[in-house]
Amino acid sequence: MSNGSSPSSPRRLRGAVAVTCTVLVPACVVGGLVWQSLGGDGARGGDGGPSSAGSRGTAEPGGPADGADGRPPGSAPPSGEPDAGKPLAGKVVVVDPGHNPGNRDHPREINASVDIGTNSKACDTTGTATNDGYAEAEFTLDVARRIRTILEKQGAEVRLTHDDDRPYGPCVDERAAIGNKADADAAVSVHADGSGAGNRGFHVILPGAVKEGGADTRAIVGPSRELGERIAGRFVRETGSEPSNYIGGGTGLDVRSDLGGLNLSEVPKVFVECGNMRDPQDAERLTSAEWRQSAARGIADGIALHLGAAAGKDF
Give the residue numbers marked as catalytic.
273
CA distance 260 to 208: 11
**Nearby residues of 237 by Cβ (< 8 Å), 6 or more positions away:** 31, 35, 40, 42, 48, 298, 301
Whether the upstream peptide bond of residue 73 has omega within 30° of 0, thus cis, is no
